[in-house]
Chain A
C-alpha cells in the first residue's frame, strides 16, 4: 500500500479488491462492516487504523456509491446521527489513542448508538451555564444532575456528557467533558413527551453515577473547548444531492391545492404563492450553499438556511391547516409514541403544524441564530455580558 493519500482511482481499486474478498451476499452483516472499517474504507477521510485512509472527504460519496452498487450492507447512519455526526469528530479531535481505538469502530458499524447530554433545564441557549456536577474521587468521577432533549438516550450505549467540575471559576472555564456509559447504575432515562403527543426525546437523570477518569475527553476544565468540536459539527451539512423543487411541506400544500379546487379562495392563493416563492428562494439558497461547499468554499449561509426553513415550515404548515378548514381540526394520534425519526409527510396536517414549532427551537433557536449572523457574519457588536467574569456559583439561576 502506498503512503500517499489515495485518489479516486486508487480508492475504487481498493473497494473492488475488498468486495472481491468479502462477498456482501455471503458475509455476515456485522462482519462485513467491521472488515470495511479495518480496511480503511469506512470514512475515508479519517486516519489510517481508525476506519479511514486519509483520503479527501469529497471522495466518500463515490466510495459509498460503490458499496451500495455492490449491494453491501450499510451502517444504518439514520439510526446513529449523533454518533456519526458529533461523537466521532469529537473523539477524533479530543480523544486519546486508547479512546479512539475503543469507541470509533463499534460507533461506525452501528453496534453502539450514541446520544448527546448537553442541554439542561437551566441551560438551553446558554449551554455554558450547565450545572450537572462531576466530582473527582481518585481515578473516577461521581456525577449528579439532569439532562434534557436527549434523542436516542433510550437506545444509546454511550453518551457525550458535559459537566461542571469547578463552580468557583467563570462558567466557560469550569467544565469537563466525558463519555458516559448509559448502562451505568444511576443513569435513568425518561421519555420527554412533547406537544405533538409523542416523545422523540428524553430526560436523563444522573444520580451518583460513576465515570472512570479514562473516559474523560480532553483536560479537566477544558469541556467548553471540547464541546465546540461537537457543536461545530452539528451545523455542518455534508453536500448531499440537490433538493428538487416543491420538496417537503410546500409540495404537500401545492398538491392539496391542485387536488381540492373547492378549498381555494383568493386570499389563500395569494398566501400560497407568496410562500411558494419564499420556499423556492430558500431552496436555491440551500443549493448555492451546497455548490459552495462542493467547490471547497464553505460560506456562512448555513445559519440563514436553517433560520429560513424554520420560519417557512411553520408558515406553510399553518396555511395547510387553514386551507383544510374543519378537516384540519382532525388530529391523527395523541398517544405517546417513540419515533426514531421525524417524518412530516406520513402524519396529519395538525402534526406538521405542531412539530414545525420545534424547528425554530431545536439546534439553536432562531433568536440565537440571528445573533450569530449579526455578530459573526455582519460583525455587529456583541451583547452586553453580565456573566463573563463571574464565578459560575454566583450566577443568578
Chain B
C-alpha cells in the first residue's frame, strides 16, 4: 500500500507555496486577471517556477530539477487549486514534463524545470489518458493540421504535438494560436494550427504522450482536492458569520449536514489523490486504476464543492464580485479536462474486469 500521508517536507513545501500564492495571487487579483488579455500570470509563474523551484520538483537534479517526486508536485497542485492560480503548472510542469521525462528528453525538460520556458501538450484539454488520435500530419520534418482547445496554449513557448509516429516539439512562434474565450479563464484554451510548421521529434511512439496525460490526470486530482478544500473553507467561514432569521445560517441542519457530507467526500478525495500521486511517483503498477478512480471521484467532489459554495453563499455567490464563480468554472472545467468522470469509469471497467453490458 502506498503512503497516503503528507511528510514533513511536504508540509513545509505547502506552507511555502501557500504563502507565495497568498502574497502574489489573492483571489481579487485572479478575478481582475480574468478580464485582461494576458493568458496567465507571468510574474506569479516566474516566482513560483523560477525562484521557488516548484516546476522542477519531479525532475531529477542532473536534468536541472529538484530531484523530488510527483508526490511533492501534487502538494503544489493542491495549493494552486486552492488559490485558483492562473499558472501553467499542470500543463507545463506536469503534463509536458512527464511526457519529456518518459521520452528521455534532456534539453527542454531542464528549461521547463527552471521555469525558463513553458511547454504544453497540444491535445484538446478533454482528452483522456490512452492513445489520443493524432490530429496533425508529418511531412519532411514539418507538421500540418489543427488541434483545438489546447490548455495554456497561449502561455506556451513550445507546443508538444502528438503525431502518428511520435511526439514533436514545435516552437510556438511557428504555430497559429487563436485565444478561446474559455469557461475557465484561469486556465485558458487556445485553438492551434500548424501549416508546415518546422518540428523536432522528441519521442517515438505513443508512450510519451500517454505518460503526460496519465501523470497529468493523476495530479489534476490533487488540484481538484485543493479546489474542493478552498470551497469548503470559504463556505464554512461564510455560514458561520452570515445571519438570517436571527441565527448564523450555519446553525441550520439543512446546511450543516450537507457540509458534513462534503467534508466526508473531501477526506476521500484526499486519500485517492494521494494514492494517485504516490503511484505516479513510484511508477506503481496500480497507477492506471488509481488515476481512473481519482479522476472519477475528485472531479465530482470538486464540482460538488464549488456548486455548494455558490448555493450556500446565496445571492453574493451568484455575483461577479465574489470568488465562488472562479472555483465553479475551474472545477467544472477540471472535471472535463483529461477525461470526464464517465470516461474514467469506462476505462476503469476494463482495468478491473467489469465489462459493460
Q: For the complex, is A35 an interface residue (Cβ under 8 Å from B)? A: no
A355 CB to nearest B CB, Å: 22
Are A284 and B348 touching (Cβ within 8 A)? no
Are B257 and A367 touching (Cβ within 8 A)? yes
User: B-facing mask of A371-392, CB < 8 A → 1, else 0?
Assistant: 1011101111111100000000
Q: Which residues of B contact A74 (CB under 8 A)?
A: none
Residue of A nearest to B357 (CB): A264
Residue of A nearest to B346 (CB): A273
Choice from A273, A285, A370 contacting B260 with Cβ under 8 Å: A370
Q: For the complex, is A198 an interface residue (Cβ under 8 Å from B)? A: no
Total contacts A-B at CB 8 Å = 130
Are A281 and B356 touching (Cβ within 8 A)? no
Q: Which residues of A contact B345 (CB under 8 A)?
A: 270, 273-274, 277
Q: Which residues of A contact B319 (CB under 8 A)?
A: none
A368 CB to nearest B CB, Å: 10
Are B268 and A284 touching (Cβ within 8 A)? yes
Q: Which residues of A contact B270 (CB under 8 A)?
A: 285, 288
**Docked pose: A190 CA to B260 CA in angstroms:** 37
| Chain B contact surface mostly | helix
Q: For the complex, is B1 an interface residue (Cβ under 8 Å from A)? A: yes
Choice from A301, A370, A373, A382 contacting B251 with Cβ under 8 Å: A382
Are B236 and A379 touching (Cβ within 8 A)? yes
Are A273 and B354 touching (Cβ within 8 A)? yes
Are A292 and B250 touching (Cβ within 8 A)? no
Q: For the complex, is A81 an interface residue (Cβ under 8 Å from B)? A: no
Q: Give residues of chain A (232-283) contacting chain B, Cβ–Cβ below 8 Å.
A: 242, 246, 254, 257-258, 264-266, 268-270, 272-274, 276-278, 280-282
Choice from A254, A265, A382 contacting B354 with Cβ under 8 Å: A254
**Docked pose: A273 CA to B253 CA in angstroms:** 31
Residue of B nearest to A262 (CB): B357
Q: For the complex, is A295 an interface residue (Cβ under 8 Å from B)? A: yes
**Docked pose: A375 CA to B355 CA in angstroms:** 43
Q: Which residues of B contact A272 (CB under 8 A)?
A: 354
Q: For the complex, is A135 an interface residue (Cβ under 8 Å from B)? A: no
Are B1 and A287 touching (Cβ within 8 A)? yes
**Docked pose: A79 CA to B322 CA in angstroms:** 57
| Chain A contact surface mostly | helix
Q: For the complex, is B329 an interface residue (Cβ under 8 Å from A)? A: no
**Docked pose: A75 CA to B71 CA in angstroms:** 43
Residue of A nearest to B353 (CB): A258
Which among B90-98, B127-135, B155-163, B271-279 touches the partner chain? B271-279
User: A-facing mask of B327-357, CB < 8 A → 1, else 0?
Assistant: 0000000000000001001101100111111
**Docked pose: A304 CA to B260 CA in angstroms:** 8
B241 CB to nearest A CB, Å: 11
B263 CB to nearest A CB, Å: 6
Q: Which residues of A contact B342 (CB under 8 A)?
A: 270
Q: For the complex, is B44 an interface residue (Cβ under 8 Å from A)? A: no
Q: For the complex, is A228 an interface residue (Cβ under 8 Å from B)? A: no
A378-B268 contact given A257-B354, A277-B345, A370-B256, CB 8 Å threshold: no
Choice from A254, A268, A288, A380 contacting B250 with Cβ under 8 Å: A380
What 10 A-B pairs have minimum CB-CB distances, sorted nearest first?
Answer: A374-B256, A304-B264, A284-B271, A373-B260, A381-B251, A264-B357, A370-B260, A281-B268, A273-B345, A288-B4
28 sampled A-B residue pairs with Cβ under 8 A:
A258-B353, A266-B356, A266-B357, A269-B349, A270-B345, A274-B345, A277-B293, A277-B348, A280-B293, A284-B268, A284-B275, A288-B5, A297-B5, A301-B267, A304-B263, A307-B264, A370-B253, A370-B260, A370-B261, A374-B256, A374-B259, A374-B260, A377-B260, A378-B263, A379-B236, A380-B251, A381-B247, A383-B251
Chain A residues close to B by CB (< 8 Å): 242, 246, 254, 257-258, 264-266, 268-270, 272-274, 276-278, 280-282, 284-285, 287-288, 291-292, 295, 297, 301, 304, 307-308, 367, 369-371, 373-375, 377-384
4 more CB-based (< 8 A) A-B contacts, given A273-B346, A285-B272: A258-B353, A281-B293, A288-B274, A377-B260
